[in-house]
Amino acid sequence: FPDHTNAVLLPSDALPGTATVSGYSRDRLLNKLASLDAKSLTVALDACFTGTAKNGKGILKNAKAQFRAPRTPKIPKNMTLISASKADQVSWGNDELGHSVMTYFLLKALNGEADADKDGRVKPSELKSFLSKKVNSFSLKNHNRSQIPEISVGKASDSFVF
């Protein structure tokens, strides 16, 4: 759950009431990674902040999911952040795919399926277009709800290529 200003990452088996103990601040994670002496970082967060489990059900018994969008993170200059969904959308899991919906299509994209111009490289614009179309189409067909991954690129990372 967002802690009113920041998004908190929870393990899939965490109890929401223990977020302050078992959760980890998304911003802290991004800042710690950015402090590494790395030329470029790519972070894929296959998570959502809606208060739902990967099956789309609320993680609190007898409670509705809480669609409170967390604050947009500041992306460090050497980082690219791939998020599984928009802040108010569920990030769906799918047992048949063997992965979450976003991870399944991210792996396909990085294996070359997103290389729209067939130059042997997957650029951010190609990745964003591929993931948006494939993930959202699958989610609408199988869950009747949108899931649109987001890609945020820091100032020095805007030319990353896979």
Query: What is the spatial distance between Cα 130 and Cα 116, in angstroms, rounded to a whole number?
Result: 9
Q: Does residue 4 carry a pLDDT above 60?
A: no
Q: Does residue 111 carry a pLDDT above 90?
A: yes
Banded pLDDT at 51 (limits 50, 70, 90):
low
| Mean residue pLDDT across the chain | 80
Query: What is the spatial distance between Cα 65 and Cα 73, in angstroms, rounded to a whole number?
Result: 22
Compare 76 and 113 and report the one with higher pLDDT.
113
Contacts (Cβ under 8 Å, ≥6 apart) of 83: 45, 47, 149, 150, 151, 152
For the CA atoms of the chain, what is the radius of gyration?
16
CB 93 within 8 A of CB 127: no
How many CB atoms sit inside 10 A of residue 55's CB? 11
